[in-house]
Amino acid sequence: MTAWRRKVGKTILSHQHNRLYFGEMLLPEPGYVLDFAVGLTYSLDLEALLGVQMSLGMLDEIDTKHKDDPYYLLEAIRCSADKIAVFCNAESIKLPQKQRSVFALLEQSVFAVQHNKGAFHPKLWVIKYTRSDYSSTHIKKRDDSYIKVITLSRNLTFDRSLDLAVEMTGSIGESDNEKHRPLYDLLEYLMKNDATKNASLIKREKIRGLAKDVLRVDSFELKDGFDNYAFHPFGFKEYKGKAAALLVNPNNKEIFIISPFISKGTLERLTKVRGKKTLVTRRTELTNNIINLFDDVYVVKDAVMTDEVIEDEKESQSYRDIHAKLYFIDAYQAQKTLLIGSLNTTESAFFNNVEFLLELRCKPNSRMKSMLYEDLIKDENGVFERITAVDETAKVLEEGETVDFQDILAAKPSAVVIPESEGYTVQISIGLFNEPAEIAPLYAYQARPASLLPLKQGTEFTEIPLRELTEFYVLQRRGVRILVKIPTTGIPTKERDGAILKEIIGNKHDFIKYVAFMLSDEYALMASAAQQSVLINQNGTSTTARNEPLHAVYESLLKAVARRPRRLDDIEDIMMMLDKDVVPEDFWKLIASAKEAAQKGGRRE
C-alpha cells in the first residue's frame, strides 16, 4: 500500500492546524470503493450517522450544504445500507431534533448492545475497501482489498470537545496473524451479542467476513516514530479486567494520562511509579486529593471551552472540553508506549465496560514524550493550563439525579405490527421492570408529542400510518427521554420504505431528477445543479428542446450500460416502489432499451 492520508494522533500537536475531519478519514484511497464497514460507539446521533452514510455511500467529500438535500440523503442510504453496521450502547441513542422519515431506513444498520454490569463504550471503525474495477473473473491480487482501522476517542455524535484519532491501513494476506486476534475477537463478540440476532443473513456474513479479513492482514502500516502496535479490547470473556493488567506495572517509571472522567481509586493504582506523573482532565473532575497524586495537572482553558481560541468555520459557539483518552508510559528497561482509545481512568471503564485501546510502541528515537510535554501542554498558545488546587467548597454537593433505563432494556421489550383497516396497530410486549415510564414510536412522538403512553405489557398504538412504522422508540422517565431500538415484527419493510420513497419522489419531475442523480458520477455537483435546473414539467411532458431531459437521462443510461449495468436494476427497483403516475411512460421504454443493450453487451457486475 502506498502512504496516503495516514495520520497518527495528528491532533496531539496543534489544535488549529492539525485537525482531523471524520468524513475525510472514512474515504478510501483513489481507485477503491467501500466493501463493508463496522463502527463501534458509545452514544449515537442519527443525524451524525446520516453523515457517515453520505461519506461512505457517496465516497465523496460532503459539503454541509448538501446534508439536507433529500436526493443526496436517499441515494447515500441506498448505496450504503447493506455495507454498514454500527454498534452502540443500548441506552445511548440520541433523540433526534429533526423529523426525518429517512431515519427508518437506518434501522438495519444500527445495532444496540446491552452489556451486563457496564456500558458498551468502544470508539472504533473497521473498514474494508475493494478495488473499484474488481470482478468475479478478476485474477486475485494482493492489493485487491485493504483494511482500515480508525481508533477514536469520540462518539458518533456532534460533540465538539477535543478528541484524538489514529488511522492505520493494511493489506489482506493469505494466513492468520495472531497479533490481530484481539480485534477479531471483538468483532466476533459483536456477532454473538443479542444485538445482531435479528440482523439479515447477508449482514451477519459480512461482519464475520470482515473479522476473518482483519485476522489475515499481514501488518498495519505505522507512521514514523512507532515500530509496533497491539490491539486491546476489554470487558468481555477473556478480556475482562485486562485494562489494569496492561496499565498498572511496577516497572513504569513515568506516566502521562489524558482522561476526561477519572476516579481516585483507579488513579492511585496508576500513579504508583517512581518518576513523573502528569494528568490532563476536566476541571469538574478534580479534587485536591487527586491533584496531590500528580506532579502536574492540566485542564482546558476557559477560552477554549467557549470557542474563543478555536474557531470552527463560522459554526455557532458551543461549550467544549477535553474528551480524548490517552496514556503514555515510560517503563524501566522497556520502550515507551502510547495508548489511545475509549478507556477513561475510572473503575467502570477498567472493570465493567466494553472498551478498546490501540497500543503504539515508540521507536527509541521517538519525540513523542517531548511532543506531549512541550508541544501539547506547555505551549503558551495551546489549549491547556496548569492547575495546582481547586476550591472544593464551590463544588455542587449533590449532583443532578441520573435517570437509568437499564431495567427496561433488561425486561426485553419487543413489539408487533398488526395491519388494520385504518393504518396499523403497534403492540408492545415487555417483562417486569422497576419504575414507571412512557413509550411511543419515534415518528408518532415527533408528529404528536402527546402520543406517549404508559409502558406496560400490551400497550397499543393505533392508526399508525405506514410511513411511521419503525423499530426506533422514544422512552421517557421522569422527564428524561432517550431513543431505543426495539425488535419489532410485522413491519412490511418494502412497503414502508416505498412510502418513505414516495414522500421524497412524489411526481414525475422529482423522479427524473432523482434518476439523473443516481446516474451521476459527481454527486455534489449534481445536487447543486438540481437546485437550478428543471428537467421535466410537473405534468410529465418534456420541456423545451434546449433542456432535452429524457435524452440527457438516456445518455446517462447508456453510460451505465457500459460501466455500471447493475445500476439499471437499482433504478428499476425504485420504479417498482413508486406509483405508476410518478414514472413517465417514456421512461419505461428507456429503461427496457437500456437493459436490452446491457444484456447484448453481456456485461453484468
Residue 206 and residue 280 in one domain: no
pLDDT of 106:
92
Provide the mean pLDDT of the chain: 83
Residue 382 and residue 237 in one domain: yes
**Residue after which a domain boundary falls, among 489, 524, 551:** 489
Residue 45 and residue 134 in one domain: yes
The answer as to whether 30 is a domain residue is yes
473-482 residue pLDDT tens: 999 999 999 9
> Residue 117 pLDDT > 90, yes or no?
no
Q: What percent of the chain has pLDDT over 70?
A: 81
Residue 419 and residue 554 in one domain: no
Contacts (Cβ under 8 Å, ≥6 apart) of 389: 288, 291
173-224 residue pLDDT tens: 999 999 999 999 999 999 998 888 888 888 999 999 999 999 999 999 987 7
**Residue after which a domain boundary falls, among 223, 239, 272:** 223
Q: Is 532 or 29 the better-scoring residue by pLDDT?
A: 29
pLDDT of 116:
83
Residue 238 and residue 299 in one domain: yes
The answer as to whether 498 is a domain residue is no
Residue 375 and residue 279 in one domain: yes
| Closest C-alpha to 485, from 13, 36, 49 | 49
C-alpha cell at 119: 456500558
Measured distance CA(586)–CA(595) in Å, rounded: 15
> Residue 63 pLDDT > 60, yes or no?
no
| Closest C-alpha to 487, from 438, 423, 429 | 429
Measured distance CA(40)–CA(121) in Å, rounded: 8
**Are residues 453 and 461 in contact, defined by beta-carbon separation less than 8 angstroms?**
yes
How would you classify the pairing of strands 110-113 and 84-89?
parallel
Q: Is 77 or 393 the better-scoring residue by pLDDT?
A: 77
Unique residue bearing C-alpha cell 440482523: 199
Residue 452 and residue 477 in one domain: yes
pLDDT of 573:
87
Contacts (Cβ under 8 Å, ≥6 apart) of 73: 50, 53, 54, 67, 100, 102
The answer as to whether 497 is a domain residue is no
Measured distance CA(253)–CA(283) in Å, rounded: 26
The answer as to whether 268 is a domain residue is yes
Highest-confidence range of 260-274, 370-384, 393-407, by mean pLDDT?
Answer: 260-274
**Residue after which a domain boundary falls, among 197, 223, 249:** 223
The answer as to whether 271 is a domain residue is yes
Q: 411 — phi, psi (to 5°)?
A: -80, 5
The answer as to whether 495 is a domain residue is no
How would you classify the pairing of strands 453-454 and 438-441?
antiparallel
Assign 3-class secondary structure to 427-457. EEECCCCCCCCEEEEHHHHHHCHHHCEECCC
DSSP secondary structure code for residue 493 in this structure? H
Q: Which domain holds residue 59?
A: 10-223
480-524 residue pLDDT tens: 999 999 999 999 999 999 999 988 898 888 888 888 878 776 554
pLDDT grade for 99, boundaries at 50, 70 and 90: confident
Contacts (Cβ under 8 Å, ≥6 apart) of 26: 37, 52, 55, 56, 125, 127, 150
pLDDT grade for 142, boundaries at 50, 70 and 90: low
Give the domain CATH number at 305: 3.30.870.10
Residue 285 and residue 386 in one domain: yes
**Are residues 299 and 324 in contact, defined by beta-carbon separation less than 8 angstroms?**
no
Give the domain CATH number at 430: 2.60.40
The total domain count for the chain is 4
Residue 258 and residue 373 in one domain: yes
Total H helices, total E strands in the chain: 19, 24
Residue 237 and residue 363 in one domain: yes
Residue 63 and residue 207 in one domain: yes
Which residues partner with 278 through β-bridges?
A: 256, 296
The answer as to whether 214 is a domain residue is yes
Q: 509 — phi, psi (to 5°)?
A: -60, -50
The answer as to whether 246 is a domain residue is yes
Cα dihedral 463/467/472/474 (nearest 10): -50
Q: 36 — phi, psi (to 5°)?
A: -165, 150
Residue 146 and residue 14 in one domain: yes
Average pLDDT over every residue of 526-555: 46
